[in-house]
Structure 1
Amino acid sequence: MNEKLAETLRQAAESGGMDKLLGFVVDEASGDGIRGHLTITPDHHQPFGIVHGGTYCAIAESAASISAFCWVQESGIGGTAVGVNNSTDFLRSVSDGDITVTTTPVHRGRRQQLWQVDMVDDQGRLIAQSRVRMQNIAR
């Protein structure tokens, strides 16, 4: 990743927003995917003591958005990308621990991108999986 892109991502992370609220940290990012993590706290729970599904949806949207943004920058298309569809399957419930988030490109085109987002627990078990479709937007 080039320095300008790294600085843009760093500034976005420091500015606050949903990722900061959820505690989502991006460890590695490129147009080929990201790797990130978050530690589950009671703030992520729904009323029955397990992670709220919206947490996974929000993390998937952020992870795919960062991946898509990196790709449009690295590919020379430029601009940014915004989410237009997010489908998340909740496969295993958890109430604590660390979650690792990775993205994999399914399709990267001139107008749209499709990303798979895998979220695994600290034992490597898949707990949620998303497909997020992104629209490339010229700036």
Structure 2
Amino acid sequence: MSEQTVDDFLNNPAASVGFDAQIGQQITSVDADGLTATLELSGRHHQPFGIVHGGVYCAVAESAASMSGAVWLHHTGIGGTAVGVNNNTDFLRSVSEGTITVRTSPIHRGRRQQLWAVDFTDADGRPLAHSQVRLQNIELPADGGE
């Protein structure tokens, strides 16, 4: 499978590819001010002691923030994409299974960098984790990188 382009994502944000597809992240809504996604947790997301591995939250935060940043860049006409340069995640409550919701919201959006908050909640709306992901805006090659 080839890599998903920003345009592909904008045309069909629910079509997970790559790591997002492997982990089970599903985008349910997206616009220039953030996205909402769900993730059905199971044993494949566990660390050795039966709870969700902290790296799951970090990885999902990185992906969700990067997608949010790329959508904003395209919405404003700046173009390009955004890549993570710092990911700070606090783990608030452990869980083993169930559907969690992921929501991104912008803290700062500039020409060169962006900062996004990513919040994780369980089915009862209780906070599970909170991330801040700093993104670097980058230009894409004129040929799409091919």
- The TM-score with structure 2 as length reference comes to 0.87
1:4-83 equivalent positions in 2, closer than 5 A: 6-7=10-11, 9=13, 13=16, 16-83=17-84
CA RMSD, 1 decimal: 1.5
Mark the CA change 1:7 to 1:53 in structure 2 (over 3 Å): closer, same or farther.
same
Letter in 2 for 1:97: G
Secondary structure class of the residue paired with 1:115: strand
Which position in structure 2 is the counterpart of 1:107? Answer: 108
In the TM superposition, what is the alpha-carbon distance from 1:6 to its structure 2 partner? 2.8
Give the superposition deviation at 1:86: 0.3
Q: Which residue of 2 aligns with 1:123?
A: 124
The Cα shift of 1:8 comes to 5.8
- 1:107 aligns to what SS in structure 2? strand
Structure 1: distance between partners of 2:50 and 2:9: 38
Structure 2 segments unaligned to the other structure (5+ residues): 1-6, 141-146
The 3-state SS of whatever aligns with 2:36 is strand
Higher helix share: 1
Distance 1:95 1:10, change over 3 A: closer
The amino acid of 1:7's aligned partner reads N
> Which digits, 9 at most, give the CA deviation of each residue in 1:77-114, with x for residues without a partner?
10111000000000000001110000010000000000
Runs of 4+ that moved beyond 4 A: none
Displacement of 1:4 in angstroms is: 6.9
Structure 1: segments with no counterpart, 5+ residues: none
* Letter in structure 2 aligned against 1:86: N
Q: For 1:5 and 1:53, locate their aligned partners in 2 and report how far apart those are by CA, in whole Å.
A: 26
